[in-house]
Amino acid sequence: MSNLAPNFGKLLDMAPSEIERPKPLPEGQYLCVIAGLPRFDKSSKKQTEFVEFTLKVVAAGEDVDAEELAEIGGIADKTIRATYYLTENSLWRLKEFLEHCGIAEVGTLGTMIDETQNCQVIAYIKHEPSNDGTSVFGKVGKTASAEDWES
């Protein structure tokens, strides 16, 4: 049995005053690796099908505010969700993302998606306010090829 199993009881023993909403990654570019296979689902509001990739952050770009990044504990264990809706008008975004991952245009989008695990890509994070205006979320504004990364 692994000692790395989460201890949910310990989490539930926390006082509410000790719990804060996590802050988003600062705006800027991040070099990421696609972790695992994507998730396919439907949006809760319009039931639009989408594919969602989990991007593990491995480096922050020079345009990322170092102080803000330090305040949230750096990039260790940070992930980004990159969501692409599967509609005729938005498939170009998914195609572009797959190209940025270095996936050759061979076969179908489905076969290309199957090749994404462990691919590197640059994700540009931008901040967007929540619908009620009470918080800010970090979202992928665009992506680029990892070949464009300047360390």
User: pLDDT in tens for each of the 151 residues of the chain?
Assistant: 445 666 777 778 888 888 888 889 999 999 999 999 999 999 998 999 999 999 999 999 999 999 999 999 999 999 999 999 999 999 999 999 999 999 988 889 999 999 999 999 999 999 998 888 888 889 999 999 999 887 5
Structure pTM? 0.85
Minimal CA–CA distance to 101: which of 61, 47, 55? 55
Q: Which CATH number applies to 21-148?
A: 2.40.50
